[in-house]
Chains A and B, each alone.
Chain A
């Protein structure tokens, strides 16, 4: 059975149906991408998985446990971290405090210190700026902080919502390298992106989303060579 299994998910905002019966799965060790245009429902799916938005119907199972019946704040300790759209770091707290909050549910001080060291090794910039107020970081640094904060919970799966948004091309490449490294280190990744070209180049599999429905899915490689995907999402 897949690590994360979503079945026939339906989500409404008031009377508007944003997700119209979607099924997908993420297996342990994979990088899975959800791609789609503005408003396709990518963020809504991730928010429903981590309980920020309620579902109307369907199932979400993580390691066989029903996530739709799990309160949002209990999900991170099950091993799932979410780097939300727009980063949503705590602007008024320091870099260090943001990272501390990432480990909020963990108790073992020695293990937390180890995770912190790991995050600082991966993002030396965060260590240099650990006392700085997070709101004053640059966009790229804020994205690093958002990812670092998620890693502080020692997740088995990490959900990322457009990590490349608003970043300079140089930073975009760096962030994608880091995502690959995180995956190689053993963390499963579910990533949402508009930057389809980049994300398909690092993903194992992908799902193409259009107005709340999955219209295509498959190996990232073959989607990259698919004519309709090329036309719609790769600008070719």
Chain B
């Protein structure tokens, strides 16, 4: 029973990683860049949630969409200002810019809110759920369910709307997509928008279990989600989901049964082993040379 509870924790932690990993993987798929500022979008989402709930006294059902909106706008703005001028630039220049944006967001938060962490009321408060004489965390169950709904929604959006198909077309061949009449800039904006809105939800869920937000709140989940995206195969949407869930389970079980200190080392160890065996990640596509 203890094991089952740990598994639920792992699933819920993993679904948060998965939501963040989706943003990394979608952006990579379309722009072939690693958006290292993505983790910090979570931090902005968490601060927004905190302000909306404690200062403006918004109820959670309003505060969460507001946080999603702020992050979506932020994501699109970052792309416009920082990445769009670098479309033709070397990958290294883009990577350094992304790291710069990440530091910029952290410093900005530090300037506005200071370094002390701020307590955030949880937007999600579901008590323990009892099944017989066994209890699991209600928040974990809500996190898992919400994530499943979002993932199903995203998958449907990508595969069944023309905007989604345009995203797939752009990620495969920007020029050919343009010849079809697809506006590449708009499609990239939609990608940043949806990835950032998902990150906001991840932020809300993360804060619901963590309770505090500070300028660096986004970095650790950001890095873990990045690992999840690579583990699942960067560029692959199902891969990001699988990678996130696996990572959460491995982390939770390692913490419970092996060692709290070693948990992160184990997580990164798994990544290294997987990449040695399958360099493209679990569900990653074979890298084919274009002729």
Question: Which residues of chain A have a CB within 8 Å of any CB of chain B?
Answer: 50-52, 71-77, 81-82, 84, 86, 88-93, 97, 100-102, 104-105, 149, 153
Contacts and interface: CB of A to CB of B under 8 A. Distances in A.
B168 A72 contact: no
B112 interface: no
A90 to B, nearest CB: 5
Contacts of A77: 181
Closest 3 CB pairs of A and B: A105-B181, A88-B176, A72-B178
A100 B162 contact: yes
Interface string B129-171: 0000000000000000000000000000000001001101100
Nearest to B166: A104
A44 to B, nearest CB: 13
B173 interface: yes
A90 B176 contact: yes
B181 A84 contact: no
A100 B165 contact: yes
B178 A73 contact: yes
A73 B169 CA distance: 13
B43 to A, nearest CB: 34
A102 B291 contact: no
B178 A91 contact: no
Q: Describe A's contact surface by its main secondary structure.
A: loop
Contacts of A71: 183
Contacts of B165: 93, 97, 100-101
Nearest to B179: A82
Contacts of B184: 73
A100 B172 CA distance: 16
Q: Which of B177, B178, B179, B180 is packed against the most chain A CB atoms within 10 Å? A: B179
Contact of A101 (B182, B183, B291): B182
Q: Which of B165, B178, B285 is packed against the most chain A CB atoms within 10 Å? A: B178
A73 B178 CA distance: 5
A107 to B, nearest CB: 10
Q: Describe B's contact surface by its main secondary structure.
A: helix
B172 A90 contact: yes
Contacts of A100: 162, 165
Contact of A76 (B162, B169, B175, B179): B179
A99 to B, nearest CB: 10
Contacts of B183: 71, 73
Q: Which of A52, A72, A153 is packed against the most chain B CB atoms within 10 Å? A: A72
Contacts of B176: 84, 88-90
A81 B176 CA distance: 11
17 contacts: A50-B178, A52-B179, A71-B183, A72-B175, A73-B181, A75-B181, A76-B179, A86-B291, A88-B175, A88-B179, A90-B176, A93-B168, A93-B172, A100-B165, A101-B165, A104-B166, A105-B181
A145 to B, nearest CB: 12
Contacts of A52: 175, 178-179
Nearest to B176: A88
Contacts of B180: 76, 101-102, 104-105, 149, 153
Contacts of B172: 90-93
A77 B181 CA distance: 7
B159 to A, nearest CB: 9
B173 A88 contact: yes
Contact of B166 (A51, A74, A84, A101): A101
A79 to B, nearest CB: 11
A84 B179 CA distance: 9
Contacts of B162: 100, 104
A101 B169 contact: yes
Contacts of A84: 175-176, 179
A152 B176 CA distance: 14
A148 B73 CA distance: 38
B195 to A, nearest CB: 20
B144 to A, nearest CB: 30
Contacts of A92: 168, 172, 285
Contacts of B179: 50, 52, 72, 75-76, 81-82, 84, 88
Contacts of B177: 101
